[in-house]
Chain A
Amino acid sequence: MQLFSLSYAQQITLTGIVTSSDGETLPGVNVFIEGTTKGTITDFDGNYELSVNSGDKVIFSFIGFKKEEIVVRNQKVQDVVMAPDINALEEVVAVGYGQTKRITSTGSVSAIQARELQTVPTANVQNALYGKMPGFFTQQRSGQPGRDASDFFIRGASSLNDAGNQPLIIVDDVQYSFDQLSQINVNEIESISILKDASTTAVYGIKGANGVLVIRTRRGKEGKPQVNLRVESGLQMPVRKPKFLNSYQTAMLVNEAYANDGLQPQFSQEDLDLFQSGTDPYGHPDVNWYDEIFKDVAFQQNANVDFSGGSERLKYFISGGAFSQNGLVRDFNDPLNEVNTNYFYRRFNYRTNLDFQVTESTSLRLDITSRFGNINEPRGQNVTGEIYDFSKIHPYSAPVINPNGTYAYAVDTEEKLPTINARIANGGYNRIRRTDSNILFSANQKLNFLLDGLEVSGRLAYSSIEENQRQVFRGSFPTYHYDPDNDLYTIDPRQNYAYGEYAVLGSQNRFTRDLNIQGFMNYTQTFNMDHNVNLGLIYNRQSRETKSNVPENFEGYTAKLNYNFKDKYLFDFNAAYNGTDRFAKENRFGFFPAVGVGYSISEEPFFKGMFYNVQLLKIRASYGLVGSDVAFGNRYLYKQVYNSGFGYIFGEDNNTSYQTIYEGNLGNDNVTWEKARKFNVGIDANLFDKLSVTVDYFYDYRFDQLVTQQDVPDILGIGISPSNIGETENQGFDGQISYQTKIGSDFHFNTSFVFSYAKNKVLFKAEAEQAYPWLQETGRPIGQPFGYTFLGFYSEDDIARNNDSNPDNDVAAPVSDVPIQAGDLKYMDLNEDGVIDNFDRGPIGKPNLPNTTLGWSLGGYFKGFTVNVLFQGSFNYSFSVVGTGIEPFKSQFQPIHLDRWTPETAETASFPRLTSNPTTVNSSSAFMSDFWLVDAWYIRLKTVDLGYQIPQRILPFNINKARLYVNAYNLLTLTSYDKYQQDPEISTNTAGDAYMNQRVVNLGVQITF
């Protein structure tokens, strides 16, 4: 009867479930009544029960989440959704061989929790990191299933060696390779950090100079078993589709180019009319090969299931996943052989992470994971490249299929290859099958009986990679040219009348075993309540065997000392003494120390009093030395090795060839690792409980870089090994500004802006002194492109001036077999000698790697609905497309070619006159210039994620959570150029015909019970 009473101070038993805004139930949340000591914590399923009086204010708090408050009216059930606190001070962040908190860290670390990555529908972790972490630069070079992992760099590039800029990748304290990383199932990941400065990377010593990507995998937590199931299915579409001109347009342009070259037209007016009318589909075909070969969409599927939980003694996390991504090529399978020659990628992952608490002070850990992957591709052809390549096929070369059902061949090309669809159907496939296994065993012993806070552990990690490939191919099959006028079929010139048999080529591509032994000693203690000390000593030894080669060994010691006083004065000292056997004995080991200091002024009592809205204000700085042992070429650079060369025919015996041996590159006894001195200063601030700011400035001086001296005269008569002489600097800033708030009682909103800027410069690279300052690479960014400076098109007046008898009024022109004509690209004569030659090739544009990258995310949560949107942009870079990607007669004719220079369009043209001669000044391969190099930026709507969490109350069975979501990747792209139809992330100076980058729209459901 009391229920009817409305008296205040009424005793109510309040119950409910606490979940995170992405639907996880939260065990262990503190629930208490404000101003009292009355409280409880949530159970394994996030349930709580608390006696309250109406009018009480109940506080929910949990590390890593924003506090929630509710005021009790008369409700009995109160579910609470807690939003992750993106500014959490206490949240731990993985760093090398340990972890740190944002509040006490002196180094430069960006971290991200896996829940922010799971919403990105991509196969690779690195593709999911775009725009989310300050200091992280990415470029996705290809969209091919299984080969679409982005290149990434931490704080840009600072090594002159291409391979020397790859960050170290550490998964659960064990080194992974780039390709191993791209196979990891995102579902297995707990958190990702990137370590950017010396203070955080010095523990890796000789491997730390390029920054470190640290991944922690998920582990079981005490609690009842939890099953998490995620199934999703998506559609892939190219971000950009190439457009090609049709037969009529192509034929017109071919005729025009021939006329420009003084050649007879290839096509008569009758041909042109037939192309235009399309009434002769076999005699005058008009095929858009892109449309014929590629589909509009391809499917991808992803399924994950994981089990986790455990008791005090044993905790487990077990996960399995399957990922499948199909290729965009149409199905050309011959029904008889059912061979799948399309691109595809299939991957299966499993992971078991176990923790045993053997005794109170002894714990064991066993992690086992394997990844099985298959990559399939049509054998021996890059299909996109084939379609672009004008020498292989024209829109009017052949019909897709002859009227009698036979395959056609490109009758009007030099190679007379079968049409692309015929080759895909019959050419077989190349399937790469790979198994990766990792086992990690570790034992940890607390030695409190010796010294309180001391523990030791040993770890054994084993990984193996095995990759083999099966290539199936058919050497020959019949193709015919059909002549509709006479109804005649002509066999191709190779005279393949019969279908050849399929042959198999098998090979073992990789076989690697990697054994890693680590020993740790760690001491953590707090003295007098205020002095927090952490001391770690680590021994690490790694041995990698690859196929039949001699193993590569790495060995080292690491020491870490962290000290802080009241979380206020922070001091870190990290050092490593380590080395690899790729250098000579006396040059193997190096010492890499770094210090970090920090001052959290917000911990000062006076400050707290003055600025109560400032939760954190910390300045920090670090300085230290780290190394990089990556070098190109022969591993034994310190040795001169003699090599076997071509055979030499000796004596009068016909064709008896004798082996030759020749001297290899001179060894460099002193070859050793590259070094970087890194300075970093940063500020961390949390304001108003809503805003968090982190900004870092860095300056890296990279020296002793292994580069091949270019100033050695050729009279030496032999190649030389690289020596440690290159110097570069790299500086910039990066950071993140995050804001989160709650609007009304139910709408959580957060937004975050991430920015990264890194600008490098070559200080020294032993370059030969150049004739003109603009030829020097020293002093410019790494990877600076060089070429001619585009001025416009040669006008008819220019040509007339060059042909008159007065040499004084000549316009600068290259010396070439093909005289300059009006409409050719005109370049600046930098040295003003009247001739366009190599001396006029100055720096143009920017390096291919963007030096600025931005990310802006917006997220909201409202009553079970979530929305997350990420915009990502890269700026300040250049790229060019050459050869079959753009040049007429190498490439298919493209819409840009319609804007070519002609005498009539001289004023408005955006492309040089057409010519069939591949060596003119208009060729980007022969005369690279800033006409071809576009100054690029792009902004992408990188990911969109919409989800709905079905209220738990209405879920049947024991289902804890059910979430439906739709997400998208690369949804919109805005670019700065219109010269090329390629994706903005292509590699520069290529044909840009890599498999198109994909846009993905994905639908999924996640169920937890």
Chain B
Amino acid sequence: MRKMKFNKYILLLSLALTGAVFTGCQEDYEAVPLEQFTEDFVFSNTDSLGVQAKRYLNAVYYFLPNGHNRVWADYLDAATDDAVSSAITENDVTRLARGQYTAQSTLGSEMNWGRYYQGIRMATTFINNIDVVPLMETFNDGQPLNSAWKSEARFVRAYLYFQLVKRFGGVPLLGDEAPTLEDDLELPRNSVEECVDFIVTELDDIRDSLRIMPISDLNSNGHVVTREAAMALKSRVLLYAASPLFNGGNIDRANPLTGYPSADPIRWKDAADAAKYFIDSYSFFDLLPEYKDIFITSANSEIIFHRQGGNNREIETRNGPVGFIGVNLGDGRTSPSQNLVDAFPMKNGKAISDPTSGYDPANMYVNRDPRLKATILHNGATWLTEVLETFDGGVNNPTGSVQKTKTSYYLRKFMGNFENENEYSDTRHDWIMFRYAEILLNYAEAQNEFAGPSPEIYQVLIDIRNRAGIEPGDDGLYGLKAGMTKEEMRAAIHNERRIEFAFEEHRYYDLRRWKEAETVMNQPIRGLQIVKSGNNFNFREIVVFEPSFDQRQYLYPIPYDEVVKNRNMIQNPGWEL
């Protein structure tokens, strides 16, 4: 009997203990770790400084591109006739320039469809949630900062849609809701017209709820989206919309996904008006007197919108000439072409093909547009106090299978002024998305297309050339031909954009929207082979790359998977299986 009691006690005790342990465990920990952020935490109704929301907004900004060496370490312009990549293995810019991509094998570095939609979703989520946050800070005379932040996100979203449109044509517009898996995700593409209208409407809508230039507290808000940035984007969008690729030169005229169904010159007027509105309304901006300093001076008067690149030696290291040592060692990634060099006029403003220009093929770098020297490094140029040797076997062009210039040229633009410095030092390397010169040239181009040459258009080119350091000449026309026809003026403007904006991710898309790619990108890209004999150099033009372009390349293929996953997704012409 006694024994049995003992057993019962043990039993009871163990049951009680077990029970105690179980109940003890239940509430000790949270169901989901507190350290994991949720939407409520990020968009908090008590966060009056908006600390977390600001971090989210930073992530939205993160989707804005930094174009420096963006495409697999190359500049996008290395996929145009302006340059080739110096890389010795296959890379994305050569594939772009040859059209070596298909819907099944898209080039993620340049046609990353999904990434744009990620950014669009991020922005939309922000737009829908930011009003929860009771921001104390105000702007533009007392408006709560919420509306500015919201508009900044809308700008980024519009910018990303524009990135999609210029690459793919019309794309699905998702509106103001971040989709979930329950939503119908098999959305059809909207037409180019709908996309452009959406972007432009958004930009007009946010204009007055953005901060304005100049930004007072540069250190903390130096490159927020401003109303000027919004209007600059509008100018560019309308210029693209008016351009032949979408406005009459569509690769598939009947297909509204590839452009407007019919050409309408009034779109040029809209583009011109948008640029003119900018020029007239925002007197803050001016062309920076020294061209090559635009890219290395923070917050200068020409910058409308940029992404900060920080203070570093990255551009120099990646693109600077090979053959130096220590911190001066460059990878020479970018080889500007002879085609680009030839596009620069003489210092008197006249094209080198003009017999009166004074061009001397034996001294081809003498008396040229100063922008040439600000853009490229050539054999004999001074860099880091050394005279560059890009002749065969020269210090900066060694023999052997290594990465080095393929054209005898290296990139100079974007770099600090290291001609007479002993070594590279940290330099400001922002990526400028919009600058004032573009607005001017947008205006000139659109106005010329709409109404033909006018003194105003001349003045734009004169201002640009004046700043570049071209001599005014006796007629004060800076080498421009007086009384140009519309076509002559068009050529002049096109060339001016090319040399003014070289490597700024304009030419690649300009060639497409002008529908010039089918001509330009089927011609060889040239470089120089320089052979040194004694103290003389023998120059020989060589073909360094044979690009290839056909009609379908005017728009990228929608990634194959997207077409497969979405029965309503129509592939771009020529990319169907």
Contact = CB atoms under 8 A, between A and B. Distances in A.
Q: Do A and B bind each other?
A: yes
Given A654-B428, A720-B181, A361 B118 contact: no
A277 interface: no
B536 interface: no
Contacts of B125: 663
Given A636-B32, A650-B61, A445 B7 contact: yes
Contacts of A974: none
A715 B38 contact: no
B466 interface: no
Interface in B167-205: 172, 174, 178-181, 185-187
A655 B310 contact: yes
Contact of A713 (B25, B39, B562): B562
Interface string A613-657: 000000000000000000000001001111111101111111110
A895 interface: no
Nearest to B115: A714
Interface in B73-122: 89-90, 94, 100, 102, 104-105, 113-114, 117-122
A303 interface: no
Given A650-B222, A651-B222, A771-B560, A660 B59 contact: yes
B564 A658 contact: no
Contacts of B90: 816-818, 919
A485 interface: no
Contact of B38 (A641, A709, A839): A641
A839 B105 CA distance: 10
A654 B311 contact: yes
Given A666-B180, A715-B179, A816-B90, A838 B37 contact: no
A659 B39 CA distance: 16
Nearest to B309: A649
Contact of B120 (A656, A717, A768, A817): A717
A768 B11 contact: no
Q: Quick one: which of A640, A652, A659, A709 has the most chain B CB within 10 A?
A: A652
Interface string B198-221: 000000000000000000001111
A649 B308 contact: yes
A661 interface: yes
Given A639-B38, A640-B38, A837-B102, A550 B122 contact: no
A85 B575 CA distance: 71
Contact of A711 (B10, B121, B187, B565): B565
Given A650-B58, A771-B577, A718 B18 contact: no
A629 to B, nearest CB: 16
Interface stretch (B49-57, B411-419, B484-492): B49-57
A648 B117 contact: no
B4 interface: yes
A519 B56 CA distance: 49
A550 B28 CA distance: 10
Contact of A660 (B11, B55, B185, B187): B55
A636 B35 CA distance: 13
Say which size band chain A's interface belongs to.
35 or more
B218 A651 contact: yes
A716 interface: yes
B30 interface: yes
B122 A662 contact: yes
B505 to A, nearest CB: 20
A678 B203 CA distance: 60
A917 B113 CA distance: 30
B30 A359 contact: no
Contact of B122 (A362, A636, A717): A717
Interface in A358-412: 359, 361-362
A716 B564 contact: no
Q: Quick one: which of B6, B41, B564 has the most chain A CB within 10 A?
A: B564
A648 B61 CA distance: 8
Contacts of A710: 565
A517 interface: yes
B558 to A, nearest CB: 10
B55 A658 contact: yes
A549 B172 contact: no
Contacts, number: 195
A715 B29 CA distance: 37
A957 interface: no
B308 A716 contact: no
Contacts of B7: 359, 361-362, 445
A815 interface: yes
B179 to A, nearest CB: 6
Contact of A639 (B32, B58, B401, B569): B32
B36 A713 contact: no
A542 B161 CA distance: 51
B310 A654 contact: yes
Majority-rule SS of A interface residues: loop
Say which size band chain B's interface belongs to.
35 or more
A655 B310 CA distance: 5
Contact of B569 (A458, A652, A709, A713): A713
A263 interface: yes
Given A581-B31, A718-B121, A815-B100, A263 B401 contact: yes
A770 B560 CA distance: 9
Contacts of B55: 644, 658-661
Given A263-B401, A445-B7, A458-B18, A715 B187 contact: yes
Contacts of B122: 662-663, 717
A970 to B, nearest CB: 41
A19 B86 CA distance: 80
A638 to B, nearest CB: 9
A652 B218 contact: yes
B21 A662 contact: no
B562 A641 contact: no
A655 B222 CA distance: 12
A449 interface: yes
Interface string A23-38: 0000000000000000
Contacts of A918: 89
A661 B29 contact: no
A715 B56 CA distance: 20
A662 B3 contact: no
Interface in A524-558: 541, 543, 549-551, 553
A553 B52 CA distance: 31
B62 interface: yes
Contacts of A296: none
A642 B37 contact: yes
A636 B36 contact: yes
A645 B309 CA distance: 17
Contact of B42 (A362, A661, A770): A661
Interface in A772-829: 815-818
B14 interface: yes
A712 B298 contact: no
A769 interface: yes
Contacts of B222: 650-653
Contacts of B336: none
Contacts of A541: 22, 25
B299 interface: yes
A838 B117 contact: no
Nearest to A362: B7
A641 B428 CA distance: 36
A428 B181 CA distance: 51
A712 B36 contact: no
Given A713-B186, A918-B89, A648 B25 contact: no
Given A517-B18, A543-B25, A663-B122, 11 more contacts: A443-B14, A517-B22, A581-B31, A636-B33, A644-B37, A652-B222, A655-B311, A655-B312, A713-B185, A713-B187, A771-B564
15 contacts: A519-B18, A641-B36, A642-B41, A650-B221, A650-B223, A653-B222, A660-B62, A661-B58, A666-B181, A711-B565, A713-B565, A714-B114, A715-B185, A717-B118, A768-B561
Interface of A: 263, 359, 361-362, 443, 445, 449, 456, 458, 517, 519, 541, 543, 549-551, 553, 581, 585, 636, 639-646, 648-656, 658-663, 666, 709-718, 720, 768-771, 815-818, 837-839, 917-919
